Amino acid sequence: MTDTTNENTVQEENKLIAERRAKLEKLRENCSANGHPNDFRREHLAGELKAEHGEKDKDALAAEGIRVSVAGRVMRRGGPFVGIQDSSDSIQFYMAKPLQKESDAWQLLDIGDIVGVSGVLHKSGKGELYVDIDQLDNLTILTKSLRPLPDKHHGLADQEMKYRQRYVDLIINDETRKTFLMRSKIIEGIRFFLSQRGFVEVETPMLQTIPGGASAKPFETHHNAMGIDMFLRIAPELYLKRLVVGGFDKVFEINRNFRNEGTSTRHNPEFTMIEFYQAYATYHDLMDTTEAMLKFIAETVLGATTIEYGESTYDFGSTFQRMTMVEAILKYNTGMDEAVLRDAENNLETLKEYAKSVGIHLGPKEAGWGAGKLICEIFEETAESKLDQPTFITEYPWEVSPLARRNDENPFVTDRFEFFVGGRELANGFSELNDAEDQAARFRKQVEEKDAGDDEAMHYDDDYVRALEYGLPPTAGEGIGIDRLVMLFTNSHTIKDVILFPHMKPLAD
């Protein structure tokens, strides 16, 4: 768009805004509520009226003389018929010409206004329900829209403005509203599923003195009254496990987390997760639980266990595939030697050559990587994107799993899994490390990495170690990214489409 075209558009919009402000002044002259009345009482929703009366015969409905009271935003005008939209659906109202001439509200009405309407319910020749306004005072402008809405058929043409002005996007775009209604149903389904299985929903601190529970860079803030620096949480994990120590055997939290990192189609600095922990369970139990939960949500929200995403179809009704990280690497990298991967600690130099051969840069910062970190990097570079159908990847090296329990038979790996669909990670779970001394040693290693320049390494959490010293029962825990899950279920290809108000840089003046 040229500067001249843009300037003309702004001038035209300013002209329309001025006209609407003039109409608001006229409403104020005629209204004791300063143009914003608050005495109208809505008694019906459009969706409910359609469900109850939508199939009735036109003449039979008219004979019933059903009086209704609806409210909503004006979305279209066509002669004597006006379409309004409420939170459930849309419906029309009708005002005959004699009443139009006498009605100030009708004369001052614009698309975008929020109105209250009362009258008799009828059905048009096209089979659409409408409210026949039979009295002059039965049309009230409740809120004057001072800004014109975008064209209904074209919506917000600028994708960025959809995110900046989500309120307009929700008014105009039916698909946007459906996406966020589905998001709400998915979260509701998760709550129901876990609650039915005896899990208790809890809340843990979002402001923490030590950020823990994940490898991520936190946001920092300062508490003035206490005179201390604090962090926005990167995960609730360590607090939830403290609760298991305290006797809450099954807990979950639908939580907001904050990570001071980059943005992408799958990353937002503020995001939502569900984390849940179960005492006397293993990571195998949580894989079973995850499979059952996602199948339940698919059936509840979509009414089917197959999910369409782009050109792919994912089957949530069949048993999910399970393979170890090494098995996944070997499946998609036939040139690598299984013996080297399974005896990784004694083949460090060969692993480094493997890493270089698949495009992994090994500079000074990466010089301290151990065999476990190298294997994980090789997996992420070569195999992760190929995990199309629902798949659990297990046996993550302990080096990249500072909070997970080591495997009893092979201490090089942990009892951990990550869950992938369409090459994207959706969940991370493991049997929890409940050895206080091992946990303290791993925290110390994380501190060494932080001192060496890794700003995503964990802090040493002395109180959490103290909690483990009181005794954490055998426990398994998991986190599922709700934003990514909603992306999958709504066929959305960027995380900004499933977050109501994604983070955006402020517009320049």
Mutual angle of helices 482-490 and 174-196, in 10-degree steps: 120
Which of 102, 96, 128, 131 is closest to 115 using CA atoms?
131
Cα 328 to Cα 400: distance, rounded to the nearest angstrom: 17
- Indicate the SS3 state at residue 350: helix
Q: How far is CA 23 from the centre of its chain?
A: 40
Mutual angle of helices 237-245 and 462-470, in 10-degree steps: 30
Please state the residue numbers annotated as binding site for Mg(2+): 418, 425
Cα 282 to Cα 280: distance, rounded to the nearest angstrom: 7
Which of 362, 438, 377, 366 is closest to 407 using CA atoms?
438
Cβ atoms of residues 185 and 177 within 8 Å? no
* Residues recorded for the chain: 509
- Indicate the SS3 state at residue 73: strand
- Indicate the SS3 state at residue 228: strand
Residue type, 254: I
Cα within 13 Å of Cα(483), Cβ side: 23
Mutual angle of helices 462-470 and 436-451, in 10-degree steps: 170
Here the tokens at position 278 are 């179960």
Please state the residue numbers annotated as binding site: 418, 425
Cβ atoms of residues 279 and 473 within 8 Å? yes
Cβ atoms of residues 458 and 450 within 8 Å? yes
Here the tokens at position 31 are 């209204």
